[in-house]
Amino acid sequence: MSEQLVRAMDGSLIGWHTGPPAQRYLIRQLARLPRFAGATVEPFSVLRHSLHVARILEAQELPPGIVAAGLMHDAAEVLTGDVPSPFKPPEWRELERVWVERASLEYGLGIDWAEAWAMVHLADGIALHSEGHKLMRCGDWKPAPGVLPLLAGVLSMSGYRVEVEAERILSRPRCHAGRDGDCIWEHCPQLRDKEPESTHRHCPLDREHNDEV
């Protein structure tokens, strides 16, 4: 049976086992998807939630890769929309995780997901409680101290500004290797993955490579 695919905003066909749409279209599409299945007292998109998570991580002065992971963590919802957790099949979670990690690699974000997921899940839970308290009138959901001002900042932004902030957070770092190919950058994905010795992969952060060939 062939894989089921959906059309993304950039016209590409995407599914659980494909690459992502172009990054700017991923951001725009997430900006149009309602969070909480639209059950909020004011419009609130998946992208605003993702930016809220990223801001929580950024406030803790965590590395840019962790902050970018916060913004990317729900990116697979371009395939399904925001399905409330009680109705989400358990097997989706692994499919979402793999898709998000593949998308970040294709975007050249250099995220160490083995390190990032635990921090992102914690920030996601903090964001959930503050959003439920503020946007869904969930009186029993108590926001963590200092989080509501971060949420208020996200809510006050225009839709355009939210997309610009997302682009800023996902701005890709360049390959740090010199012309001799040597790199000592501590976040280098090649050093982390023992490349090119392992699979002969070229550095995913080197955006100049194709122009030089």
| Cα 181 → chain centroid | 29
Superfamily of the domain at 6-169: Hypothetical protein af1432 (1.10.3210.10)
**pLDDT for 146-201, tens place per residue?**
999 999 999 999 999 999 999 999 986 556 666 566 777 666 777 878 888 888 88
| pTM tops 0.85, yes or no | no
d(CA 2, CA 24): 28
The letter for the amino acid at 79 is: L
- Name, in order, each residue with C-beta under 8 angstroms of 212's C-beta and a sequence gap of 6 or more: none
Q: Considering only CA atoms, which of 78, 56, 80 is closest in space to residue 69?
A: 56
d(CA 19, CA 152): 34
d(CA 50, CA 31): 10
Integer CA distances (angstroms), 170 to 138, 141, 188, in order: 32, 30, 16
**pLDDT for 84-129, tens place per residue?**
888 988 899 999 999 999 999 999 888 999 999 999 999 999 999 9
d(CA 43, CA 20): 25
Every domain of the chain and the residues it spans: 6-169, 174-213
d(CA 8, CA 21): 6
**Vertex 150, ends 147 and 156: CA angle to 5°?**
140
